[in-house]
């Protein structure tokens, strides 16, 4: 005799000799006599009963949040994911995590998550096309874009002020008196990279700097390494490199150093993100910190306020912070 099936509240009711509603009330913490509660809990324990949390989706509202995330293995994102999990769980939400492979299945992923009647969605993929954003905007469930701006579409978003950050780096390089800038980029399909590039290039131009050479296409160590190799092959070596992410910078630094090109003596490097590794002795990277705790906090706030009925769809920009470390040659 095997008792596979999970017991229902009715089973518990019978076992305890009370009504099914008594069981329900006991577990939803409403008025029951101590007597009844005892009987119910005892029966539940004996039967191994556990109320089905998913069914709240029928009578009440779901407490699921969909988190759609690409680039999980870019060290910036585990930090972000953890922060989201903590913040969301703290407030009684549970997360359904959906992995994204580049932009291709983003559309399907959103649909998928919506099918589970999530209460809200957070999308952290940088590679989101406007069609998908459009779908998010149309959806009746609130969506917040993390680190992805889509202009002209009515979606909430939170992002670091990438344009301004790019400008900060340009100013820094000009102030240091550098004259041969380079930019190692992430994918220009992502607004974040485009914006960093834009701020960097524009400010450089404004201040009479030269237009940087640019390499790279994705946030990875390997791409950074290859870009640096390409840079070394140029007729004229750069004296300063702005990398659109810390991982890119690590790859570049390792390649440069292996080639005998000293950082920061021969070339200065500035990264982006300030992932924990940037502070490590092996890199000691000057970088622009994305205030991720704060960004996550605000993303969650926006999402929850939308869930609570607010119809505002704010787009919030938080400033990056320059973190000075050892990869920038002191000014002359």
Partner DNA sequence: ATGAAAGCGCTAACAT
Partner DNA sequence: ATGTTAGCGCTTTCAT
Which among 250, 252, 256, 255 has a CA at the least distance from the CA of 279?
A: 250
Rounded least distance, CB 42 to DNA, Å? 14
Q: Is 58 in the site for a copy of itself (CB under 8 A)?
A: yes
> CB 280: neighbour CB atoms within 10 A?
11
Residue 312 neighbours by CB under 8 Å, 6+ apart: 305, 306
Choose the stretch contacting a copy of itself; rule: CB under 8 A; options: 59-67, 164-172, 210-218, 265-273: 59-67
State which of positions 178-197 bind a copy of itself (CB under 8 A): none
Nearer to a copy of itself, 56 or 180 (CB): 56
Inter-residue contact 67 to 122 (CB < 8 Å): yes
Which of 147/255 has CB closer to a copy of itself? 255
Which residues ranging from 260 to 299 are in contact with a copy of itself (CB under 8 A)? 276-277, 280-283
Could you tell which of a copy of itself, DNA, none binds residue 20, using a CB distance below 5 to 8 A set by kind? DNA
Taking CB within 5 to 8 Å according to partner kind, which of DNA, a copy of itself, none is near residue 283? a copy of itself
Could you give the dihedral angle defined by the CA atoms of residues 95, 100, 105 and 111, in that order, rounded to the nearest 10 degrees? 10
Report the chain's C-alpha Rg in angstroms: 26
- Give the separation between CA 157 and CA 138, rounded to whole angstroms: 15
Out of DNA, a copy of itself, none, what residue 292 binds, judged by CB under 5 to 8 A for its kind, is none
Closest distance to DNA from the beta carbon of 68 (Å): 22
276 binds, among a copy of itself, DNA, none (CB under 5 to 8 A by kind): a copy of itself
Q: Closest separation between CB of residue 56 and DNA, Å? A: 6
CA dist 70 and 79 (Å) reads: 13
Size of the site for a copy of itself (CB under 8 A): 55
Using DSSP, state whether 217 is helix, strand or coil. Answer: coil
List beta partners, residue 64.
94
């Amino acid at each position: 005799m095997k008792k596979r099936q999970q017991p229902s509240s009715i089973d518990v009711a019978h076992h305890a000799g009370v009504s099914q509603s008594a069981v329900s009330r006991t577990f939803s913490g409403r008025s029951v006599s101590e007597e009844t509660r005892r009987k119910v809990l005892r029966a539940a324990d004996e039967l191994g009963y556990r109320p089905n949390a998913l069914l709240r989706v029928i009578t009440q509202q779901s407490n699921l949040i969909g988190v759609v995330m690409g680039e999980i293995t870019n060290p910036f994102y585990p930090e972000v994911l953890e922060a989201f999990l903590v913040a969301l769980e703290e407030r009684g939400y549970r997360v359904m995590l959906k992995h994204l492979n580049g932009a291709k299945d983003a559309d399907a992923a959103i649909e998928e998550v919506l099918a589970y009647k999530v209460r809200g969605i957070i999308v952290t993929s940088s590679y989101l096309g406007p069609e998908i954003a459009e779908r998010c905007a149309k959806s009746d469930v609130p969506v917040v874009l993390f680190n992805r701006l889509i202009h002209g579409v009515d979606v909430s978003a939170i992002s670091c002020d990438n344009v301004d950050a790019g400008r900060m780096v340009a100013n820094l390089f000009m102030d240091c008196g550098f004259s041969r800038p380079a930019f190692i980029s992430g994918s220009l399909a992502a607004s974040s990279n485009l914006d960093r590039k834009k701020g960097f290039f524009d400010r450089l131009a404004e201040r009479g700097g030269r237009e940087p050479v640019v390499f790279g296409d994705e946030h990875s160590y390997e791409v950074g390494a290859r870009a640096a190799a390409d840079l070394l092959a140029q007729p004229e070596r750069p004296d300063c490199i702005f990398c659109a992410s810390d991982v890119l910078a690590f790859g570049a630094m390792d390649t440069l150093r292996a080639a005998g090109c000293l950082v920061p003596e021969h070339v200065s490097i500035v990264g982006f993100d300030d992932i924990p590794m940037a502070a490590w002795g092996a890199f000691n990277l000057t970088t622009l910190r994305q205030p991720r705790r704060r960004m996550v906090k605000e993303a969650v706030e926006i999402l929850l306020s939308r869930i609570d009925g607010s119809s505002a769809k704010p787009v919030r920009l938080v400033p990056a912070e320059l973190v000075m470390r050892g990869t920038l040659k002191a000014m002359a």
